[in-house]
């Protein structure tokens, strides 16, 4: 019976400790410290046994023939003094008058009293600063002094002339090298990749910590399973993908997914950013790419994660200049390393970008990035799962309904949801609460979506009244339109940079297609605020500027892009500029004749005029409800959705539960069955 080949992944062994290096280092340091302490002991002991006297006093002792030994050095004179028995008052060191003449000193020394002669002072060693004195040698010979010269000691000369200056220069060089190393790489290591090797213990993120992107996790789990047990794939002739590209808007969790792969795969994981390859020196980027793959081959099987791939993977030939030429050389090196003449086995490239439209086509072809995984904004179930993941370490109140919060945050990414939970925690701490309540979460959504409250921006009564009618006009059009999103909250509290008030509408379910009727109803809702001002005040204000901008853009898309105009027909008369960063706010370039463009403008005006007339008609019909809701809004400054629908006599819509087939668990079951 033939046994299946067993492939064992390399086990990381602890790094060997160089015993010789630290041992020799300890011996050298011990020797230097011992040498320094010995020199310091000699100097301190010598200084402690010497009595320092002025040079003038030394000359007096020399004149009295009391100096028996003297050693003349470069900067000092050391020696021994044996005082003769004499009166204390005649001692040169203490009582001798500096103004006394030499004859007086001799006379005093020649006739001491019998009591003072009995005093015999003890000899002592002296030290005095050397002064330029040409007659010093003659005076030493005349006094019968045993004198000589002495050079500095070996230890003193060695430490003072060699060791201490060299040590100072070494410390200074180390500080400068460390300072320069913090600002940039050393000149000798400029070609190194700088990729960080992530150890298993450093990555504590797993797939359980990632929510809202089940399809992306399913694709990446296959790569992880291949690394863990490649035999079952290789028996069928399957080969592991060389590259996996994570594509999605910012904040959707691409980097978090890469960290989860590192935590699940249990193989070496190199992490680097695309900007780390770009350098001002020509050829450095390509050298770093080669060095990165050389390191990865030494740790194969392993994973290389390149974040922000668009920094080096932009399309070639669209620009000119040395900087772009350097980027193209780096890209060429990356292309060769991923799928060149030599096979690159055991190394998987995992990259992330939010600008896939600018990447080079050669980089995206099969054989390099075989698989592109879209990490989009989470749906309703995904947002609820993300909220549950990020609320694990937060204390939530029993009244918190994460499903309702997920429904209120349509279109937000995982980073936005994490920010909302953090803002809610800050709001709860600000009011000294013991747990995060539903009100804190709803206030956090308003703060993230509409901006913080502008309490300093005070409106007068007339402006506040106009803003109230404007916002209630939006709300009423949403209430009497069956295809509009339900009203969640109406407020006339200024928020953000320019919002004097707002009407928050939240969808009850995720919607991916819109009909012409639904789009027309949305335009009517956008124009409801301006129509309300004209119905009540007889004139309009500048507050509808943003409403007109959004309504005009939507009407132009209906005519020029979606073919929803009979006069223009089915022709697509504009082109979008694709971009993951812009989301729904994209630029449209005209792709039609002047006559067609004129027709488009006429159709856009017609759509807006019909929608505006419909809005005015609806608000005029329900004028009593407009006044009732506005009066309540002026008193409370904000009205929630249930209160609004109660005032207009309608039932508040509820969040719809999705069909079981659209859940992530059901999707996984269907794929496993197939």
Catalytically active residues, by annotation: 471
C-beta separation of 129 from 76 below 8 A: yes
Cα torsion angle, 409, 413, 418, 423, sign: negative
> What token pair was written down for 407?
């429904």
C-beta separation of 245 from 356 below 8 A: yes
Burial code (b: 16+ CB inside 10 Å, e: under 16) for 494-529 equals bbeeebbbbbbbbbeebeeeeeeeebbbbbbbbbbb
461 CB-side CA count, 13 A? 2
Closest CA to 349 of 258, 237, 456: 258
Q: Are strands 302-307 and 347-353 parallel, antiparallel or unpaired?
A: parallel
Q: Are strands 588-590 and 574-576 parallel, antiparallel or unpaired?
A: antiparallel
d(Cα 555, Cα 21) in Å, to the nearest integer?
A: 76
> What token pair was written down for 275?
């900007």
- Write out the E strands in 466-505: 487-491, 502-505
Closest CA to 223 of 209, 246, 241: 241
Bridge partners for 227 per DSSP: none
3-state secondary structure of 78: strand
Per residue, the 3-state secondary structure of 407-458, as one string, reads HCCCCCCHHHHHHHHHHHHHHHHHCCCCCECHHHHHHHHHHHHCCCECCCCC
From residue 514, give the alpha-carbon distance in Å to each of 379, 438, 521, 526.
17, 31, 11, 16
What DSSP character marks residue 501?
Answer: -
Q: How large is the greatest C-alpha to C-alpha distance in the chain, in angstroms?
A: 143
Closest CA to 163 of 30, 38, 26, 36: 36
Closest CA to 352 of 369, 338, 330: 369
d(Cα 83, Cα 129) in Å, to the nearest integer?
A: 20
Work out the number of other CB atoms within 10 angstroms of the CB of residue 196. 14
Residue 592 burial by Cβ neighbours in a 10 Å radius (0-12, 13-18, 19+): middle
**For residue 539, which phi and psi values (nearest 5 degrees)?**
-150, 165
């Amino acid at each position: 019976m033939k046994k299946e080949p067993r492939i064992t992944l390399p086990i990381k062994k602890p790094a060997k400790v160089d015993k010789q290096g630290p041992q020799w280092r300890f011996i050298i340091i011990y020797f230097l410290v011992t040498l320094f302490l010995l020199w310091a002991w000699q100097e301190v002991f010598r200084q402690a046994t010497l009595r320092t006297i002025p040079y003038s006093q030394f000359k007096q002792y020399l004149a009295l023939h009391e100096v028996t030994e003297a050693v003349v050095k470069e900067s000092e004179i050391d020696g021994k003094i044996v005082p003769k028995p004499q009166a204390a008052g005649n001692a040169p060191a203490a009582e001798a008058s500096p103004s006394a003449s030499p004859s007086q000193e001799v006379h005093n020394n020649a006739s001491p009293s019998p009591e003072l002669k009995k005093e015999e002072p003890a000899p002592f060693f002296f030290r005095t600063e050397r002064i330029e004195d040409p007659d010093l040698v003659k005076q030493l010979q005349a006094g019968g002094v045993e004198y000589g010269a002495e050079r500095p000691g070996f230890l003193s000369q060695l430490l003072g002339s060699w060791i201490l200056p060299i040590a100072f220069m070494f410390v200074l060089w180390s500080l400068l090298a460390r300072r320069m190393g913090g600002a940039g790489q050393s000149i000798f290591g400029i070609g190194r990749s700088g990729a960080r090797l992530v150890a298993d213990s450093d990555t504590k993120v797993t797939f359980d910590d990632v929510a809202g992107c089940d399809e992306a996790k399913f694709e990446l789990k296959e790569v992880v399973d291949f690394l863990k047990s490649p035999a079952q794939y290789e028996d069928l002739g399957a080969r592991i993908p060389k590259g996996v590209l994570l594509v999605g808007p910012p904040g959707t969790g691409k980097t978090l997914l890469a960290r989860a792969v590192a935590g699940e795969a249990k193989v070496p994981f190199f992490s680097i950013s695309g900007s780390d390859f770009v350098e001002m020196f020509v050829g450095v980027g390509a050298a770093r790419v080669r060095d990165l793959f050389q390191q990865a081959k030494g740790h194969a099987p392993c994973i290389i994660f390149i974040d922000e791939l668009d920094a080096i993977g932009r399309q070639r030939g669209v620009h000119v200049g040395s900087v772009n030429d350097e980027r193209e050389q780096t890209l060429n090196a990356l292309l060769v390393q991923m799928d060149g003449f030599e096979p690159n086995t055991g190394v998987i490239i995992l990259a992330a970008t939010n600008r896939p439209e600018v990447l080079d086509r050669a980089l995206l072809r099969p054989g390099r990035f075989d698989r592109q995984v879209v990490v989009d904004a989470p749906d309703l179930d995904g947002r609820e799962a993300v909220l549950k993941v990020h609320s694990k370490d937060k204390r939530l109140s029993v009244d918190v309904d994460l499903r309702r919060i997920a429904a209120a945050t349509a279109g937000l990414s995982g980073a936005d949801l994490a920010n909302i939970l953090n803002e809610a925690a800050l709001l709860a701490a600000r009011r000294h609460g013991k747990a995060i309540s539903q009100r804190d979460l709803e206030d956090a959504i308003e703060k993230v979506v509409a901006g913080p409250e502008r309490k300093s921006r005070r409106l007068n009564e007339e402006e506040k009244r106009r803003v109230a009618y404007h916002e209630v006009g939006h709300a009423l059009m949403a209430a009497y339109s069956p295809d509009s999103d339900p009203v969640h909250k109406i407020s006339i509290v200024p928020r953000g940079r320019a919002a004097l008030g707002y009407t928050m509408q939240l969808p009850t379910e995720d919607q991916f297609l819109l009909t012409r009727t639904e789009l027309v109803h949305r335009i009517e809702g956008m124009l409801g605020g301006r129509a309300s001002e004209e119905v009540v005040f007889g004139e309009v204000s500048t507050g509808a500027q943003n409403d007109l901008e959004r309504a005009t853009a939507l009407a132009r898309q209906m005519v020029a892009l979606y073919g929803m105009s009979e006069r223009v027909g089915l022709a697509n008369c504009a082109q979008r500029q694709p971009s993951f960063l812009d989301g729904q706010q994209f630029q449209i370039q005209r792709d039609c004749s002047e006559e067609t463009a004129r027709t488009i403008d006429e159709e856009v005006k017609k759509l807006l005029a019909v929608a505006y007339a419909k809005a005015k008609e609806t608000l005029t019909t329900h004028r009593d409800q407009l006044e009732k809701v506005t009066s309540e809004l002026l008193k409370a400054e904000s009205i929630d959705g249930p209160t609004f629908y109660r005032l207009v006599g309608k039932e508040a819509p509820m969040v719809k539960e999705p069909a079981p087939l659209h859940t992530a668990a059901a999707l996984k079951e269907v794929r496993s069955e197939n």
